[in-house]
């Protein structure tokens, strides 16, 4: 439902819980920008994201772009299955440059098979 | 709006569309040239496909897509319409409906698995109707791809290149590019995706609900350009979509690069990187563009013009459709049924409270308060009527469903059925509509199976070969009357008697009147069918129908003429929630008689009073009026008062008088169902709360009238037998 910020030892952790969709986007945007405005690196934790859509993805892109502008390091961690699927569909995993737990080719195949 | 609600709306809307499609198909069957019907079918399939895509329901998208392929051919006149085709399309509609059922099922996957085989068969049938090339959904991956290629310099890549720039409002409109990409992935292989987001403004002005994305896709699949365009059909309005077939001319790519808003060099690199173009091809393209603008320009423009024409018309069509939809949307509003129910319940309480206020005002005998209370009562009455009207729906929709049934059943039995619907605009409560569907279905089946004779017999009897079945509805003093009539053989009196004697239901040699015959066929387990068909004739029909109707406070009557046909008449209350009542008192308890059944009230004269205990009827202006003493019916203790009154009640053409102590006047009342304990009480259909907080029982007038009339007939019968 919401994003909570935790600041520990010079880095800000943004934990996204529940959905990250157009319904939450308006509320999520200022929180993410807020996280980027804090000193230190930023980490966005997607492990508790249950559903993500294009609006949610755009916010991640925005955050990444802002972090590049500000010369910070933004890392996205703990991709949940649905968030990874979205990144994957848009082929943006490499744009964010974060290590993901499940490797792409395997996942692709399995997800396709399950749809059949 | 949560996903669950979206899905709910989607299911409801899709079902409506399926109904539209079905009735259009049935129209088509009669008039294969009806272009409007063809368009209606097409539009329904198309809209279902679109909305299924929007809620990510791929199974329906794929299936309706295949349907659309065939429909498109029909629309363009390449496939002729015949009975088989209509039957297949009807079956396809049923399958989509079954797929929708799966969505609602507890175990979706199991439900899908059950109907999968059927779907595949239908897809095969659909495919067989199409001229080559076969449908992409069932086509082998390596099938020939239809591409028009002009010019010489083409790119080596065998992939489609799809360039998308999504519209700003896409997400706000409830569409997500993801679902289209997911769908595309089911048609083939998306070999490369590049997402561009150059259009996204600075963080400060970026609107999180707008869409700033674009995609360059390379796609490998045995599809036609139409198929890909169809995938993105719903995006067309707000998106820039450019599709380049495999082995397109290099110049097309150059045009693409020029047309896109992003930096040209970057795009070129991007295309090279994604494998759509090779470095050499890109360079060649740029060179051609630089030197040969003259040579190419005309050709390019013509090419573009053609494409644009098509796009423009499509866009215009879509806009037209959107406009139309908006117009409909503004005049209709979807409201959840339970919200309306809550409103009706509240209005019901309001009615009771208002009655209470009126009573209190009367007791206080304060003129101003009485007047205020009566004004309020009037308003409440109006509010009640309006609230009830909200739930009123025309019966036409229920009737229309039988068109399909009549067609299918007729086909199965080799009978030609002509279904006529009249009074379709007659309105009744939505909750009633659902409840009468079953009994009505039984009656229609019966009429087709038993009522209407086979064509051969009909000709012998000098009737037209096509049997006529008529459904009619109209309002009659607070009830809705629904008639199912056929012009078939009528009830076979002899056969019914034989069977009744056989089963020991009546004594042999007894010749019952029509009434009794009609009662017989409504007994449970009674069937005269010589052979059991799988449609009706198992003897579980009529008694179930009767009981269903009675549970709705309605009645069923039969009118039959041998050789000419049968009419079943259902008479039902308009609503189940509130009735206008007439309040009467017996001893200290109050009873409510539905007002619309009350004909008149009279005082029981002293002489009649002496006589009735014996005769059970009075002479009312020369007619016999059977009487029923409520005091006796409900076993009220104590002596009747000095005066008694008669309430003359009319139900379905029969009259009876209820003898009561006092007449208390009109009263609007909210029906409260009786607890389960009292369900079987005869003579009482519900209860209500009076303004002073006391409970009054609502009389089951139809049953009581029946009882009075029956008792009176029995008395006369026994009298006429006495002298023998």
- Residue-wise DSSP of A98-112: ---SS-HHHHHHHHH
Choose the closest CB to A66 out of B182, B203, B213: B203
Nearest to B220 by CA among B194, B184, B190: B190
Cβ of B177 and A54 within 8 Å?
yes
**What architecture is domain B3-129?**
Up-down Bundle (1.20)
Question: In this predicted structure, what is the pLDDT of residue B488?
Answer: 83
Indicate the domain borders of chain B: 3-129, 160-291, 337-390, 393-573, 578-721
Sheet harboring B617-620: ordered strands across?
B598-603, B645-651, B654-660, B623-629, B617-620
**ipTM rounded to 2 decimals:** 0.82
Tokens 């009659």 belong to B476
Cα distance from A7 to chain B (closest Cα, Å)? 22
Residues of A with CB under 8 A from a CB of B: 22-23, 25-26, 28-29, 33, 53-55, 57-59, 61-62, 65-66, 86, 89-92, 95, 112, 115
Question: In this predicted structure, what is the pLDDT of residue B544?
Answer: 76
Q: Alpha-carbon distance A45 to A14, whole Å?
A: 6
ω into residue B133 within 30 of 0, thus cis? yes
Q: Is the CATH code 3.30.360.10 the one for domain B393-573?
A: no
Question: In this predicted structure, what is the pLDDT of residue B496?
Answer: 78
Question: In this predicted structure, what is the pLDDT of residue B405?
Answer: 84
pLDDT surpasses 70 at B543: yes
pTM of the full structure: 0.46
Point out the least confidently predicted range of A66-80, B205-219, B566-580. B566-580
Number of folded domains in chain A?
A: 1
Cα distance from B138 to chain A (closest Cα, Å)? 13
Per-residue confidence at A58, pLDDT binned at 50, 70, 90?
Answer: very high
Instruction: Flag whether residue B4 sits within 8 Å of chain A, measured between CB atoms.
Output: no
Q: Alpha-carbon distance B122 to B106, whole Å?
A: 25
CA dihedral B118, B124, B129, B133 (to 10 degrees): 150
Point out the least confidently predicted range of B225-239, B546-560, B670-684. B670-684
Q: What are phi and psi of A3, to 5 degrees?
A: -110, 130
Chain B 39-98, residues with CB within 8 Å of chain A CB atoms: 58
Question: In this predicted structure, what is the pLDDT of residue B722?
Answer: 46
Q: Alpha-carbon distance B104 to B86, whole Å?
A: 27
Q: What are phi and psi of B436, to 5 degrees?
A: -90, -10
Q: Which CATH number applies to B578-721: 3.10.20.600, 3.20.20.70, 2.30.30.40, 3.30.70.260?
A: 2.30.30.40
List the CATH number of the domain containing A79. 3.30.750.24
Q: What is the mean pLDDT of chain B?
A: 77
Cα distance from B391 to chain A (closest Cα, Å)? 32
Choose the closest CB to B178 out of A23, A53, A66: A53
Pairing assessment for the beta strands B479-486 and B565-573 based on DSSP bridges = antiparallel
B517-537 tens-digit pLDDT: 777 777 666 665 554 444 444
Q: How many residue contacts between A and B have a Cβ separation below 8 Å?
A: 63
- Which site among B162, B203, B212 would you substitute to test the A interface, given the most A Cβ atoms closer than 10 Å to its Cβ? B203
Cβ of B208 and A29 within 8 Å?
yes
- Residue B557: strand pairing partners: B569
Question: In this predicted structure, what is the pLDDT of residue B532?
Answer: 44
Tokens in use for B12? 């409801």
Mutual angle of helices B337-364 and B367-390, in 10-degree steps: 160
| DSSP class per residue in B398-427 | HHHHHHHHHHHHHHHHT--EEEEEE-TT-E
Cβ of B177 and A55 within 8 Å?
no
Cβ of A89 and B182 within 8 Å?
yes
Who's near A58: CB < 8 A, 6+ residues apart? A25, B197, B200, B208, B211, B212, B213
Residue of B nearest to A86 (CA): B178
Helix locations, A14-103, DSSP H: 22-37, 54-69, 81-89, 93-96
Tokens in use for B462? 């000098």
- Which site among B208, B215, B216, B239 would you substitute to test the A interface, given the most A Cβ atoms closer than 10 Å to its Cβ? B208
Q: Alpha-carbon distance A112 to A103, whole Å?
A: 15
Residue of A nearest to B175 (CA): A54
Cβ of A91 and B192 within 8 Å?
yes
pLDDT surpasses 90 at B472: yes
Choose the closest CB to B208 out of A25, A66, A86: A25
Instruction: Flag whether residue B205 sits within 8 Å of chain A, measured between CB atoms.
Output: no
Cβ of B208 and A86 within 8 Å?
no
Who's near B194: CB < 8 A, 6+ residues apart? A91, B215, B216, B217, B270, B273, B274
Per-residue confidence at B139, pLDDT binned at 50, 70, 90?
Answer: very low
Fold of B160-291: Alpha-Beta Plaits (3.30.70)
Q: Alpha-carbon distance B705 to B699, whole Å?
A: 10
Cβ of A26 and B200 within 8 Å?
no
If one counts every other C-beta atom within 10 angstroms of the C-beta of residue A66, the result is 20
State which residues form the domain around A37: 3-115
């Amino acid at each position: 439902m919401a994003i909570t910020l935790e600041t520990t030892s010079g880095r800000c952790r943004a934990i996204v819980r529940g959905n990250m969709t157009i319904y939450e986007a308006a509320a999520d945007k200022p929180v993410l920008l807020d996280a980027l405005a804090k000193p230190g690196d930023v980490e966005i934790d997607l492990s508790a994201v249950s559903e993500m859509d294009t609006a949610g993805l755009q916010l991640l892109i925005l955050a990444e772009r802002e972090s590049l502008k500000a010369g910070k390091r933004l890392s996205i961690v703990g991709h949940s299955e649905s968030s990874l699927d979205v990144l994957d569909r848009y082929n943006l995993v490499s744009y964010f440059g974060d290590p993901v737990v499940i490797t792409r080719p395997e996942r692709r195949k399995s997800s396709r098979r399950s749809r059949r | 709006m949560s996903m669950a609600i979206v899905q709910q709306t989607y299911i409801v809307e899709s079902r409506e569309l399926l109904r539209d499609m079905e009735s259009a198909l049935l129209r088509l069957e009669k008039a294969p040239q009806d272009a409007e019907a063809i368009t209606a079918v097409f539009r329904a399939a198309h809209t279902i496909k679109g909305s299924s895509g929007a809620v990510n329901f791929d199974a329906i998208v794929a299936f309706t897509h295949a349907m659309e392929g065939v429909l498109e051919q029909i629309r363009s006149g390449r496939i002729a319409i015949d009975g088989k085709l209509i039957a297949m399309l009807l079956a396809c509609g049923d399958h989509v409906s079954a797929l929708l059922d799966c969505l609602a099922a507890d175990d979706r996957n199991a439900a899908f698995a059950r109907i999968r085989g059927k779907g595949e068969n239908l897809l095969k049938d659909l495919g067989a109707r199409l001229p080559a090339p076969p449908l992409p959904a069932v086509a082998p991956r390596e099938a020939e791809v239809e591409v028009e290629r002009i010019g010489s310099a083409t790119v080596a890549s065998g992939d489609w290149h799809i360039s998308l720039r999504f519209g700003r409002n896409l997400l706000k409109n409830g569409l997500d590019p993801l679902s289209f990409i997911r769908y595309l992935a089911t048609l083939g292989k998306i070999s490369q995706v590049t997402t561009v987001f150059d259009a996204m403004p600075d963080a400060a002005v970026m609107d999180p609900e707008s869409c700033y994305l674009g995609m360059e896709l390379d796609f490998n699949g045995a599809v036609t350009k139409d198929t890909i365009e169809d995938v993105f059909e719903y995006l067309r309005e707000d998106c820039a979509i450019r599709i380049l077939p495999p082995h397109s001319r290099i110049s097309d790519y150059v045009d693409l690069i020029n047309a896109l808003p992003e930096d040209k060099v970057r795009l070129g690199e991007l295309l090279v990187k994604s494998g759509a173009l090779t470095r050499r091809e890109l360079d060649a393209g740029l060179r051609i563009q630089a030197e040969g603008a003259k040579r190419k320009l005309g050709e390019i423009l013509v090419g573009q013009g053609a494409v644009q024409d098509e796009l423009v018309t499509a866009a215009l069509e879509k806009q037209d459709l959107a406009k139309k939809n908006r117009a409909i949307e503004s005049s209709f509003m979807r409201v959840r049924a339970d919200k309306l129910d809550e409103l009706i319940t509240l209005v019901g309480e309001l009615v009771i409270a208002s009655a209470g206020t009126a009573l209190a005002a009367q007791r206080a005998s304060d003129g101003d308060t009485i007047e205020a209370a009566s004004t309020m009562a009037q308003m409440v009455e109006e509010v009640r009527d309006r609230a009830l009207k909200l739930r009123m729906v025309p019966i036409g929709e229920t009737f229309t469903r039988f068109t399909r049934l009549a067609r299918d059943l007729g086909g199965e039995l080799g009978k030609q059925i002509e279904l006529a619907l009249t009074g379709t605009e007659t309105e009744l409560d939505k909750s009633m509509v659902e409840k009468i569907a079953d009994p009505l279905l039984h009656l229609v089946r019966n009429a087709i199976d038993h009522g209407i004779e086979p064509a051969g017999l009909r000709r012998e009897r000098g009737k037209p070969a096509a049997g006529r079945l008529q459904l009619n509805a109209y309002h009659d003093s607070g009830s809705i009357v629904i008639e199912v009539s056929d012009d078939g053989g009528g009830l076979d009196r002899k056969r019914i008697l034989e069977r009744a004697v056989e089963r020991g239901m009546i004594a042999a040699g007894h010749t019952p009147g029509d009434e009794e015959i009609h009662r017989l066929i409504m007994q449970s387990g009674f069937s005269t069918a010589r052979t059991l068909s799988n449609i009706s004739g198992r003897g579980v029909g009529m008694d179930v129908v009767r009981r269903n109707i009675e549970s709705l406070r309605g009645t069923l009557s039969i009118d039959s003429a041998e050789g000419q046909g049968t009419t079943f008449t259902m008479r039902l209350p308009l609503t189940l929630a509130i009735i206008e009542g007439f309040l009467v008192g017996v001893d200290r308890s109050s009873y409510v008689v539905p007002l619309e059944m009350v004909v008149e009230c009279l005082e029981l004269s002293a002489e009649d009073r002496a006589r009735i205990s014996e005769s059970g009827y009075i002479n009312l202006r020369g007619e016999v009026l059977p009487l029923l003493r409520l005091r006796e019916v409900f076993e009220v203790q104590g002596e009747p008062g000095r005066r008694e009154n008669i309430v003359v009640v009319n139900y379905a053409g029969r009259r009876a008088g209820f003898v009561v102590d006092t007449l208390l006047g009109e009263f609007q009342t909210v029906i409260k169902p009786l607890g389960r304990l009292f369900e079987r009480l005869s003579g009482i259909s519900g209860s209500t709360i009076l303004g002073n907080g006391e409970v009054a029982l609502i009389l089951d007038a139809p049953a009581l009238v029946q009882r009075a009339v029956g008792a009176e007939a029995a008395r006369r019968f026994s009298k006429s037998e006495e002298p023998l």
